Structure 1
Amino acid sequence: MNDLFNVILLGIIEGITEFLPISSTGHLLIAEKFGLGERSELFNVGIQAGAILAVTFIYWSRIWQLFTQWRDPANRDYLLKLFVAFAITAALGFLVTHFGFKLPEAVTPIAWALVIGGVWMLGAERLAARQVDRSEVTWRVAILVGIAQIIAGVFPGTSRSAATIFTAMLAGTSNRAAATEFAFLVGIPTMYAATGYELLKVIKSGGVAHEDWTALAVGFVVSAIVAFVAVKWLLGYIRSHRFTPFAIYRIVLGIALLLLMPAGA
C-alpha cells in the first residue's frame, strides 16, 4: 500500500511538472532521492507518456486539422517543421545513446540546472518581450527546438518545455501561445518514441517479467489525468501572464537543494 501511494505521488509530480517549465525529470529524480523509491527507466518514461497522452487529447483538434488538411500549404509547412524538429531530436538522441550517456543520479547537478535555467528564463522572457509579436514558426525555430529537446534530455533540471518554449520565442516565434503550441506538439512524437524505445529495451533484455507493470499502469493513468488539468491551466495562464513565477520557483528550489544537500550528493 505504501508503494502504491509513492507511485501515485510520482504520477502527480510527473503530471504537474512535465509541461510546466520546471523540469519533470529533475523533480522525479529529487522525489526518488527523498524517499519515494528508485524506479526503472521504463517507469519514468512511461509516466511521461501518460502526460503526453493528456496533451494529445488537448491538442487533438489541431492534430486532426494538420493531418486531414495537409494539402493546405500552411498546414503542410507546419507538419514538415514538426517532423524536422522531431527528426533532429531523434538523430541526436541516437548519438547520445550510442555513446553510452547516462543521466546523473546526484541532486547537485539538477539543482544547478534549475538555478541556471531559471536565470536564463528571466533573461529570455525580457528579450522576447522586446521582439515584435510573431506567431509564425520559422525553419530556424524548428531546427533549434529540435536541438533544445535533446539538450534538455541530457541535462536533467533543464526542462524540455522551458528549453523548447524559450528557444522558439527567442528564435522568432515570440508569441508565447504559438511557441508553447509548437513545443508541446513536438513533444508528442518525441516522448512516444522514447517510451517505445525503452519498452523495446526491456523486451530485448528479458526484463518484462521483472517490471512492475501495475505500478507503471497506475503512474501512467495518474500522470495523464493530472497533466490534463495542469496543461489546461497553463494554456489559459500564459494568455495574459509571463513565465516569471516558474523561473523564480526554479531558482528558489535549486538554491534550497544546494544548501540542503551535501557537496556532490
Structure 2
Amino acid sequence: MTDLLAALLLGIIEGITEFLPISSTGHLLIAQHWLGPRSDLFNISIQAGAILAVVLIYRERLWQLAMSFLRPHAPREGALATVYGQPPRDYAYKLATAFGVTAVLGVLVKQLGFELPDEVAPVAWALVLGGVWMIAAEHFAARRAKALGERSAITWNVAVLVGIAQVVAGVFPGTSRSAATIFVALLAGTTHRAAATEFAFLVGIPTMFAATAYELLDVAGTPAAANEDWAALAVAFVASAVTAFLAVKWLLRYIQTHRFTAFAIYRFVLGAALLLLVPSGS
C-alpha cells in the first residue's frame, strides 16, 4: 500500500470517528497498528481537519456568537436572538470557560508527561468500558430528564465539567471526546440532547485548533518537521474534513430520533474482537 493511500484511509477513519462517540484516537491507534505509525503532529492535524467541518456546519452559530461581542447593542431578531434560551455572549463565555479548563489541565498533563502506551489492548478495554459508561450515562440522563424536564441551558458547572472531560478523553485513548463531553453535559443538567451535543462540538473547535498549533510550535525547526510527510498529511487533512462534515450532518439527524445505544454496542463488539484477535502487548 502506498503512503498516500494509507494517509487517505487514516483521514477517512478520523473524519468518521472524531464526532461519533466511538473514539477517533482509539481507531487511529488501531489503524496505525497495521498501516504504520504516524507522528503526533499528523494525528492532531487531521483531527483539526475534522474540526474544520464543524466550523462550516456551525458557521451561523459562530457568527452569532461573534456578533454578540462586535455588535452588543444590535436588535435581537427571531430564533438567532438566543442560543437555546441564553444570551449569545453568556453562551460564548461558557464556551471560553470550558476551553480554558481544558487548556490549563491539558498543558499540565503534557508537562507531566502522562500518557498511556500506544498499544491495542488498553484501547480495546477503553472501548468496552466506554460502552458500559455510555449505556449507564444515557440511562441516568434519561431519568434526570424525566425528573427535571427538558433543559437546554448550559450552566457554568456543565462548562467546567465538559472542559475536564475533554482532558480525560485526550489522556485515555479509546474514551471518545464526543461521548465524554456529551454525556457529562447530559448528566450535569443539560437534558436536551441537541443542546448538549452542540456545546460539546463547539468547544472542540478551539481545543483542537489550539492542540494543532501547540504541536506545530513544538516541532517547528526540528528534525521532526523536516521528516514529516507534508503531502500525506495534506491528503489526510482534506479527507478528514470531508468525511467529518458528512458524519456530523448524519449524527445531528440521527440523535433527533435515536439514542446512543447502537454506538455502545459497536464499542463492545470492536473492543471484544480486538481483545480476542490481537496478541497481548501488541
Q: Which TM-score band applies after superposition, normalised by the shorter structure?
A: over 0.9
Q: CA deviation at 1:174?
A: 1.1
Normalised to the residue count of structure 1, the TM-score between the two structures is 0.97
Query: How much has 1:206 moved relative to structure 2?
Result: 4.1
Name the residue aligned to 1:74.
87
> How far does residue 235 in structure 1 lie from its aligned partner after superposition?
0.5
Distance in 2 between residues matched to 1:126 and 1:105, nearest whole Å:
31
Q: 2:240 aligns with which of 223, 229, 246?
A: 223
Q: 2:189 aligns with which of 151, 172, 176?
A: 172
- Counterparts of 2:218 and 2:160, CA distance in 1: 28
Letter in 2 for 1:31: A
Q: Deviations over 1:8-63 (max 9, x none)?
A: 10000000000000000000000011x21111110000100000000000001000
Q: Percent identity?
A: 68
Give distance in 1, aligned partners of 2:251 and 2:276.
Answer: 30
Taking the aligned partners of 1:3 and 1:263, their CA distance within structure 2 comes to: 27
1:239 to 244, 251, 256: 256
TM-score scaled by length of structure 2: 0.91
User: 1:69 deviation in Å?
Assistant: 2.1
Alpha-carbon offset, residue 2 of structure 1: 1.5
Structure-1 separation of matches of 2:186 and 2:197: 9
Pairwise CA distance, 1:261:
1.9
Residue 141 of structure 2 is aligned with which of 128, 145, 152?
128
Residue of structure 2 in register with 1:36 after alignment: 35
- Gaps in structure 1 of 5+ consecutive residues: none
Distance (whole Å) between structure 2 residues aligned to residue 150 and residue 174 of structure 1: 22
Alignment check: 8 A CA contact 2:115 2:172 kept:
no
Aligned to 2:48: 49
Q: Does 1:148 find its partner at 2:165?
A: yes
Match of 1:87 among 74, 80, 100: 100
Letter matched to residue 198 of structure 1: E
Which shows bigger deviation, 231-240 or 64-73?
Answer: 64-73
Per-residue deviation, residues 96-131 of structure 1 (Å, max 9, x unmatched): 111112342111110111001101101111111122
Partners of 1:87 and 1:198 in 2: CA distance: 18
Please tell me the root mean square deviation across aligned C-alpha atoms, in Å. Answer: 1.2
Matched letter for residue 123 of structure 1: A
